[in-house]
Amino acid sequence: MKEELAKIVQDALSEAKKAGTLAEMNDVRVKFLGKNGAMTAVLKQLNNVPKEQKPEMGKLVNSAREQIESAFIGKEKALREAELNARLMSERIDVTLPSSDKRTIGALHPLTIIKNEIIDIFTTFGFSVAEGPEVELDYYNFQLLNIPKDHPARDMADTFYVDENTVLRTHTSPMQARIMTTTPPPIRVLVPGKVYRSDDDASHSPIFNQIEGLCVDKKITLGDLKGVLTAFVEKLFSRNTKVRFRPSYFPFTEPSVEVDVTCTICGGKGCRVCKGTGFLEILGSGIVNPKVLELCGLDPSEYSGFAFGFGIERIAMLKFGIPHIKMLYENDVRFLKQFR
Ligand code: PHE
Each residue's pLDDT expressed in tens, for the chain with a length of 340 residues: 888 888 999 999 999 999 999 999 999 999 998 888 888 888 888 888 888 888 888 888 888 899 999 989 999 999 999 999 999 999 988 888 887 777 778 889 999 999 999 999 999 999 999 999 999 999 999 999 999 888 877 765 689 999 999 999 999 999 999 999 999 999 999 999 999 999 888 888 999 999 999 999 999 999 999 999 999 999 999 888 899 999 999 999 999 999 999 988 788 898 887 889 999 999 999 999 999 999 999 999 999 999 999 999 999 988 888 888 999 999 999 999 998 7
Helix (H) or strand (E) holding 2: helix 2-18
Dihedral Cα 137, 139, 141, 146, nearest 10 deg: 180
Q: Which of 122, 228, 252 to mutate to test the pocket of ligand 1 (most atoms within 8 A of CB)?
A: 252
At how many degrees (to 10) do helices 22-33 and 2-18 cross?
Answer: 170
| Ligand 1 mean position, distance from CA 272 (Å) | 26
- pTM score of the predicted model: 0.70
The answer to whether 37 touches 30, Cβ cutoff 8 Å, is yes
Residue bearing the CA closest to ligand 1, atom 5: 309
173 CA closest ligand 1 atom index: 1
pLDDT of the residue at 142: 95
Buried-exposed string 15-47: b where 16+ CB fall within 10 A, e elsewhere = bbeebeeeeebeebbeebbeeebbbeebeeeee
The answer to whether 50 touches 38, Cβ cutoff 8 Å, is no
pLDDT of the residue at 157: 62
CA distance 301 to 48: 125
What DSSP line would sit under 221-288, residue for residue? Answer: -HHHHHHHHHHHHHHHS-TT--EEEEEEEETTEEEEEEEEEE-TTTTTS--TTTTTSSEEEEEEEEEE
Contacts of 221 (CB under 8 A, 6+ apart): 287, 304
pLDDT of the residue at 155: 67
CA distance 256 to 2: 120
Pocket of ligand 1 (CB under 6 A): 171, 173, 212, 250, 253, 284-286, 307-309
pLDDT of the residue at 288: 98
Specify the CATH number of the domain 110-339. Answer: 3.30.930.10
pLDDT of the residue at 156: 58
The rounded radius of gyration (Å) of the Cα atoms in the chain is 44
CA distance 31 to 161: 88
The answer to whether 296 touches 181, Cβ cutoff 8 Å, is yes
Q: Which of 250, 254, 257 to mutate to test the pocket of ligand 1 (most atoms within 8 A of CB)?
A: 250
The β-bridge partners of 137 are: 166
CA distance 159 to 105: 39
Residue 150 is given by DSSP the state T
The β-bridge partners of 246 are: 258
